[in-house]
Amino acid sequence: MHAFSYRGLQVHVGTRAEAREALLRVLEGSTQHQVITVNPEFVVLAARNPALRALTHQATLCLVDGVGLSFALRRYGTLERYPGADMVPDLLRYCAAHQKAVGVVLSNDGLSTSATVVAKLAEQFPGLRIAAWDEQENFQEKIKRFAPDLLLVTFGQPRQDFWLAENMTSFQSVRMAIGVGGAIDFLTGARRRAPRLMRSLGLEWLWRLVTQPRRFVRIFRATFGFWYTILCR
C-alpha cells in the first residue's frame, strides 16, 4: 500500500489483500499502532476540523471505507474498498487462530450489549479470547487487566478516533487499535447489513436511510455533503 495526502488527510490505497497484510503486520509488531477508517463523512468533518486532518497523519494506517470516496480516489492508484464490516471479521478470525486477545469498547447508544458481543463473537470465532465493556463502566482499568492485543472501539467518528489517539498508550498490551463504528452490530445481528446487490451498486447509504431514518443528517453528510465538499469547496 502507499500513502498520499488527499485534501489534507493521509490516506492509504492498495488492494484488499495488501490492506489485510498491512493490518496483520501491525498486529504482529512490537509497538502500538492506530488504524483509522476514512469514509465520506470523515472527509466532510475533516474539511472543517484541522485536528481531525492532523490525526490521520499520526495514524499508522488510514484505510478507505465508502463507495463515494473510493470513486474519488480511483486516479491515485489501485484501490479496493475494505469496509469495517469485512475487516473486523477478518481480524477476529486471525486473532482466534493465533491466540490474540480482543477487547471491545461499546458506545452508550450502541445496539449490542457487552454480554451479547462476547457470546456471539465467541460462537462465530471458536477459540477467540474476547472481552467487551460498555462505555459507562470503569472500562479503562478492565482493559488493562484483560490485556488485549487488538482493541476495537465503537464510539463513532470522529470521537472514537480522538479517544484512541489520547488513550491508547495507557494500554501497554495493545498492538493495534481501531475505531469500528457499527461493525460489531452486524456481527451480533443487532443490525442488518445491506444486501450484497445494494453493496455492489454502492447503495449502502440508501439501505441505511430506509432502515435507520434517524441517521438522516449523517447519511446526507456522507452523500450530498461529501460531493459538495470535494467539488465545490
pLDDT 10s digit of each residue in the chain, 233 long? Answer: 888 888 889 999 889 999 999 999 999 999 999 999 998 888 888 888 999 999 999 999 999 887 767 777 777 766 788 888 899 999 999 999 999 999 999 998 878 999 999 999 999 999 999 999 998 778 999 999 999 999 999 998 899 999 999 999 999 999 999 999 889 998 998 877 666 765 665 656 555 656 666 665 665 555 555 555 655 55
Q: How far apart are the first and last CA of the chain?
A: 28
DSSP H helices, the chain, are 16-27, 40-47, 50-58, 67-72, 84-97, 114-124, 139-146, 159-167, 183-188, 196-200, 204-211, 216-222, 224-232
- Entry pTM: 0.85
Distance between CA atoms of residues 46 and 33, nearest Å: 21
Of the CA atoms within 13 Å of residue 170, those in its CB half-sphere come to 12
Distance between CA atoms of residues 123 and 58, nearest Å: 35
Share above pLDDT 90 across residues of the chain, in percent, rounded to a whole number = 55
CB contact at 8 A, 158 and 36: no
Report DSSP state, residue 158: T
Torsion angle (degrees, nearest 10) of CA 89, 93, 94, 95: 100
CB contact at 8 A, 117 and 132: yes
Distance between CA atoms of residues 9 and 62, nearest Å: 9
- C-alpha closest to that of 176 among 4, 32, 13, 1: 32
**CA separation (Å) from 110 to 29, 153, 200, 215?**
31, 11, 26, 13
Distance between CA atoms of residues 91 and 27, nearest Å: 9
CB contact at 8 A, 178 and 165: no
